[in-house]
Structures are given as C-alpha cells and as structure tokens.
Structure 1
C-alpha cells in the first residue's frame, strides 16, 4: 500500500484553492484521495497491531471548524490520523500527518491531564536517568533528533526548583517525538514500512512513560 502521487497533488491544489466552489468541482478527486488515505492508515494500523495493542484509531475529517478561528478557509490541506494504545496500562498515542512539504510521524503525550503531568514532572525531579538514556539512544537520535517537542513553560512550574538539573524536562507541558518526511518519502513504496519502523522506535519511550503513569513514586501500581 502506498500514498499516491495524485493524492499528494490534490492536497497541493487544495492549499492553493481552499474554497467551497473549487472543492465541489473537484469532489471526485477528493473522494479518490481520501480513499487512498484511508487505505494507507489502515495498512499502518495493521502493522502497528503486530507489535503493539491499539485501541481507537481515527482518520480526521478534512473539514475545518472555523467558528472560533481567524482563518476561515474551510478545508485542511492534509490528511491526518491517530492511533491510541489500548487500556489503562498502555499510555501514549501515535499520529501521522500527510501535508505537502510538512509531513511527519509522531508519538507521545500532547496534552497530559493535570494529574499525569504532575506525576511525570515528579518522576523527572526524582530521577531523569532512564528518560535521558532513551533520548540519547542512537536510534532515537537518528529518528527523532534525541529530543522531545511540545509546549513548555518559560520558567519552573509551581513547586519545582528552577535550577533543578532536569528543569528542561520539568518545564514541558507536552512530550512528543517527531520525525519529518519529505514528499518523496511519502509517495515511496516503503513509506508504510518507514512509518512503522518509526513507531517501533518509540516503544521504549512509551513503555517507560506507561510505567511512570501507572505507578506512584515508590514504584507501586496505582491501577
């Protein structure tokens, strides 16, 4: 299964013609591109289920909610979808976006709940050696640059020392690993395999964070 060049061209054209009249005139092309995207995401899910337990998966709609946005363009010029891990003991989720010139695969914790965020910060305050080992792993560096993306505070959160050695991690409000893909990679024959390989390399990070979020600071299970 591959993402077709024609589907990528549709997204490029949509960016330049993001209006309802053009979209209506090209609805049949959109339906073909969307079908291609659905098949691609289904192939990725099948690969994921060979090595992880996946609960919900979702291909997001191309229609934008413009009610509270200054940008009134009606359509997203990308296809994107997510794959959530199954159950209370497996934390984290996978994400893929295909947008001309701005495609990426990602995984992690985009908006942790307040309690989860505090638990993660407390873990890094207590001991950051395990997460540092994961980030410094050669494969993680090759695929994700050895770092976590996401919004962060400008200073230490309340109750934490701004001079703590792990303050770079403690300040974070999200913990996301991202690998970018070129257009050539997206339409290549081995794109699904590369996305799956990318997601496999996230597993040590997910396993560590799942352990953190299902135990207290003494390592005792809370589920």
Structure 2
C-alpha cells in the first residue's frame, strides 16, 4: 500500500461555532471517487464516520430544527433523513459499492415510501447541491400533479416566478414530453407544465461553501424559499392512492 493510500488518523471535528465539514471531509470524498472499492473503504470507515457522517448528521439536525417554522410536515430525526453511503447495485450495470456523496432527503410525513415533494442536500468532492421539489414521481403521482395543474397552474406559475426563488435556484423539469400527455386537452394553457416529468429546483454551489461556518444558515435560506413550492406539489399527492412499496432511497 502506498503512503498516499494509507488511511489517515481522524482529526477532531470542528465545533459548531466554526464549521461542520473540513478539508479532511473533502479529502475523503476525493479518495472515494478514485478508489470506489470495499478494500479501500473498509479500513477507512472510522474516518468516514468522523469526518463525513457525524458532521452531516449535525447539519441535518440543525437544518431540521429550523424547518419547524416553515416545513413542519418534513421534520424527522436526522438518522431518518440521511441517505446511506452504500449503493443498491442489484439492478445496475455499475457495481461500484459506494455513492460519491453524502446526502439527505427530507420527505413529507405520509409520503415517506413514495416520491412526494421534499428537500434534498448532498456534498460531493465537486459540489454542494441544494434542491427541492418532486423528482421522478411514480405514475399515480405524476397523474395527480398533472390533474391538479389543470385548475391550479396559475398558482404554480406564480410560485416559480418568485424573484428570490429565481435568484437561488434553477428549475429542473426532467425530460419533457414531445407531445401532450394522453388524456389531457392539447390546447390547455398549462400544457408547457403538463409536459414536465418532474417539477424541481436545483442549486449547485462551490464545494468550498461546505467548509464555511454559515453552511446551515445558507441551506435553511434555500429550503425556506422553496417550501411554498414543495407544499403546493404535495397537495394533490396527500390524497393520491398509496401502495406498500419499498423505500426509494437507502436511509440510515
């Protein structure tokens, strides 16, 4: 084993008065990107727990504490929000065992086992991503949102046109349909929105932002701005049919 590949000793975590993540956190992510193998990760798992998992749980906990004010239906224990570092490779041609980021997903109560609207955060070696909305909804939920759009599309347009929202986020509508969805009027004024496969917001920030003491405050600003859109998207899903399905994401 080369010296550069040897696991380094875990450094003490910075206090909340300083920062959550540190250079050692990013160094681990860069190493994982180059060495996505069990024989590399296993001896470094204690380091992962110290420089990535522990600070990520702390960030989640503090962000969630602030969400009580503007997204109370998404308040959950930090362990239930943090996504597992392990990839599910059963149905994938890519058999690398680990994700290249640490991530969290704040789902809405009652929609934990589906793809309802929520809030997302991840840190990788390249970026800090903050996002919100509905991603890759199941067929029933896709239809529910489209049906809701028929009479409420002006509401959604108003939310998407918000000045602060447009300053902070980039919309992500997925791959648009090339023609009107089946069963919907072709001349409906909401057709541009009806052709969407998802309704989401995304912000990719420089990875250095994760090292700053104001990280939680900044994430909360993004989530607070996106909260009305997430609430709107979940309105038609609360009454949508629910089936017992496995969790979409691997969570701790």
Deviates more, 1:25-34 or 1:182-191: 25-34
User: 2-side partners of 1:43 and 1:160: how far apart?
Assistant: 43
| Aligned counterpart, 1:76 | 99
> Does 2:147 match 1:122?
yes
Counting only pairs closer than 5 Å after superposition, residues 68-147 of structure 1 correspond to structure 2 as: 68-87=91-110, 92-145=117-170, 147=171
How many residues are paired up?
A: 213
**Alignment check: 8 A CA contact 2:134 2:230 kept:** no
C-alpha contact 2:145 2:236 (8 A) present in aligned 1:
yes
Quote the Cα distance in structure 1 between the aligned partners of 2:126 and 2:233. Answer: 31
Structure 1 runs not aligned, ≥5 long: 217-223
- Range with bigger deviation, 200-209 or 131-140: 200-209
List gaps (5 residues or longer) in structure 2: 1-15, 241-252
- The one of 63, 66, 70 equivalent to 1:51 is 70
Are the aligned partners of 2:87 and 2:96 in contact in 1 as well (CA < 8 Å)? yes
Aligned to 1:23: 41
Partner of 2:214: 190
Which secondary structure does the structure 2 equivalent of 1:128 belong to?
helix
Q: Say what the alpha-carbon RMSD is for the aligned residues.
A: 2.4
Give the alignment partner of residue 61 of structure 1, picking from 66, 84, 91: 84
TM-superposed deviation, 1:151: 4.1
Tell me, in whole angstroms, the C-alpha distance in 1 between the residues paired with 2:169 and 2:89.
32
Deviation at 1:46, TM superposition (A): 1.6
Partner of 2:173 in structure 1?
149
Structure 2 residue 25 is the aligned partner of structure 1 residue 7: yes
TM-score computed with the length of structure 2 as normaliser: 0.75
Q: CA shift at 1:215, angstroms? A: 7.8
Partner of 1:219: none
TM-score by length of 1: 0.84
1:175 aligns with 2:194: no
Alpha-carbon separation, structure 1, partners of 2:66 and 2:110: 19
Alignment partner of 1:38 is 2:57: yes
